[in-house]
Amino acid sequence: MAVQRFDVHSLAVILPVVVLVTLGLTMAVLNLTYNSYHETKDNVEVKAWWDGDHADIYVKINSKKLLPATIKIKEYVEEKKVYQPSKHILCSLTVDSTDKPLLVTGAVTSKNFEVEVLTPQKNLVFKVRLR
């Protein structure tokens, strides 16, 4: 069996990539785990987390009585000190099944926003603050 010779040059090329990528992956996983929001109110579950340059939002309706639900996302505008509907969404967001949660990616570029869930029974507001 041939013995592979230890090559310091290969190591010098490979090691920095391994270190950097491991560091990046660890930071990404830690950020996604700890810099996240999770709340359940009246059978409506909302999760949100920060993914580099945007927030990803997950909405799940656990009761058929609350269907169909319309989702509205409002971002905080620092200059005006008000919440305004996200401009990054051009169509209406609806959830019409308890099996199919809604995942919105890249629709919010602010870390301070509100997710409004409008159902036939009641309207719920989730205030999200990410770090």
Partner 1 sequence: MKNRIPRRRVGGKRKLTYLRKVKHFLWIIGPGIIAGAAGNDAGSIGSLASSGALYGCSILWALLLSLIFSYFIQDMCVRIGIVSGKGLVEHARERYGFKVGFIFLLAFLAVNFATIVAEIAGMAASLELLAWVAGFYVPYTVLAPILTVCVWIFLLKEGYGPIERVFSIVSLTMFVYVAVAFMVKPSPEEVFYGSFWITRKLTFDYLVYVSAIIGATISPYMQFYLVSAIIDKKVRVKDILSERIGSALGITISGIQAFAIVIVAAYVLFPRGIAVETARDVALALVPFLGFSAFTLFSVGFFASSLNGTGVIISSSGYSFSEFFGVERGLSKRVREAFTFYLMFTVCFMIGYGALIFGVTPIQAMVYSMVISFILSPMVVYLILRVSNDREIMGEHVNSPIIKLVGWIIFVVLLFLDAILLADMVTAYIWQP
15 or 63: CB nearest partner 1: 15
Please answer whether residues 84 and 75 qualify as being in contact, where contact means their C-beta atoms are separated by less than 8 angstroms: yes
**Nearest in space to 58 (alpha carbons), one of 76, 40, 82:** 40
- 33 to 52: interface string for partner 1, x by CB under 8 A: ----------------x-xx
Judged by CB under 8 A, does residue 96 bind partner 1?
Answer: no
Residues in contact with partner 1, counted by CB under 8 A, come to a total of 32
Judged by CB under 8 A, does residue 2 bind partner 1?
Answer: no
Residue 44 CA, chain-centre distance (Å), reads 16
- 8 to 37: interface string for partner 1, x by CB under 8 A: -xx-xx--xx--xx-xxx-xxx-xx-----
Distance, CA of 109 to CA of 116 (rounded, Å): 17
**Nearest in space to 100 (alpha carbons), one of 131, 69, 54, 55:** 69
Which are the contacts of 89, defined by CB distance < 8 A and separation ≥ 6?
A: 73, 104, 107
Residue 21 CA, chain-centre distance (Å), reads 22
Judged by CB under 8 A, does residue 82 bind partner 1?
Answer: no
Judged by CB under 8 A, does residue 77 bind partner 1?
Answer: no
71 or 119: CB nearest partner 1: 71
Piece of the chain touching partner 1 by CB under 8 A; list 37-45, 64-72, 100-108, 121-129: 100-108
